[in-house]
Amino acid sequence: MNRRAFLRTTGVALGALALSGVPALAQGLEGEDLANLEKALKEVLGKSFKDLTPSNLIKLTMPAIAESGANVPAEVEVNLPPGQVKAIHLFADKNPTPYLVGFMPMKALPYYATRVRLAETSAIRAVVETADGKLLLASASTRVTVGGCG
Amino acid sequence: MAIRTIVRLTPAKPKAGETFKLQVVAQHPNEPGTRKDAEGKTIPANYINLVEIYFEGEKVAEARPGPSTSANPLYGFMFKAEKAGTFTVKLKDLSGDTGEGTTKLELA
């Protein structure tokens, strides 16, 4: 391999690395509160935040800015075969009760849509329990102008 | 008091093998237990904490919403159309009230 070909292939590999995965990592998200989230994770799943694997198989759709925190649409879609997904959980870091919902798709496709209350600007987590016991994570952040929990 | 429940399919008549959404809207204040009334007293929590979907009498999906669900909530599910039948949605809240809604799945 000559120098030019080497540079080209490594360049492509680095570019692919930068595109995949890295934005899914929970870094610099607005409204993060890991201490509050950790408590809820322990209660619901018995796991801590470190046990979750960020995954780009989960598509979590949240608005960037919500006018009213009392009614925020949330949508989760998992790109896995139906039998693979055991449960989908949603958490909001900054809510007094971070656990939003648990969904068990038995015969349904791994998709869930709902409307939730957000107390303030918060990071939203979608945690997916797969049939082989893995926990996948997707995060999003919603800025709230009027809170909806008080 | 029964909870008013509306169930709707989108598209209304899916083709066999096609995916469709089942949307449920309930008329319920969904008090989270953190809100206060005009005198500063906390309004007790009363929210829907169990949503079950039955297809022809068989349970096909279950959701357990927490207190942070909005008033008059929407629940959306997705299924694959295989055969015609009836969907029944059952809701339950903290005070023991139940709601029930049905819709027929017809294949185009």
Residues 6+ apart with CB under 8 A from B90: B50, B51, B52, B54, B98, B99, B100
Question: Does residue B105 register a pLDDT over 80?
Answer: yes
Neighbours of B77 (CB within 10 A): 23
Question: Does residue B25 register a pLDDT over 90?
Answer: yes
Number of Cβ pairs closer than 8 Å across A and B?
103
Ordered structural domains, chain A, with CATH: 48-144 (2.60.40.2470)
Paired residues of A77 in beta bridges: A59, A111
How far is it, in rounded angstroms, from Cα A112 to Cα A76? 5
Minimal C-alpha gap between B61 and chain A (Å):
5
Minimal C-alpha gap between A119 and chain B (Å):
9
Domain count of the fold of chain B: 1
- The gap from C-alpha A41 to its chain's centroid, in whole angstroms, comes to 13
Order of all β-strands in the sheet with A109-116:
A58-61, A72-78, A109-116, B74-80, B19-27, B4-10
How far is it, in rounded angstroms, from Cα B31 to Cα B37? 11
Contact residues, chain A to chain B, C-beta under 8 Å:
70-73, 75, 82, 92, 95-97, 99-109, 111-119, 148-150
Containing domain of residue B23, as a range? 4-105
Report the pLDDT value the prediction gives residue B54, as an integer from 0 to 100.
Answer: 95
Report the pLDDT value the prediction gives residue A22, as an integer from 0 to 100.
Answer: 43
* This prediction's pTM: 0.81
Question: Does residue A86 register a pLDDT over 70?
Answer: yes
Question: Does residue A25 register a pLDDT over 50?
Answer: no
Among A114, A118, A148, select the one facing B76 at the smallest CB separation.
A114
Chain A positions in Cβ-Cβ contact with residue B35 (cut-off 8 Å): 149-150
pLDDT, tens digit (0-9, with 9 covering 90-100), for A127-137? 999 998 889 99
Question: Does residue A20 register a pLDDT over 50?
Answer: no
Chain A positions in Cβ-Cβ contact with residue B34 (cut-off 8 Å): 96-97, 119, 149-150
Q: Does any CB of chain A come closer than 8 Å to the CB of residue B45?
A: no
Question: Does residue A73 register a pLDDT over 90?
Answer: yes
CATH number of the CATH domain containing B69: 2.60.40.10
In the structure encoding, which two tokens stand for residue A125, read together? Answer: 């987590």
In the structure encoding, which two tokens stand for residue A134, read together? Answer: 């893995």
Between the two ends of chain A, the Cα-to-Cα distance in Å is: 65
**Predicted ipTM of the assembly:** 0.86
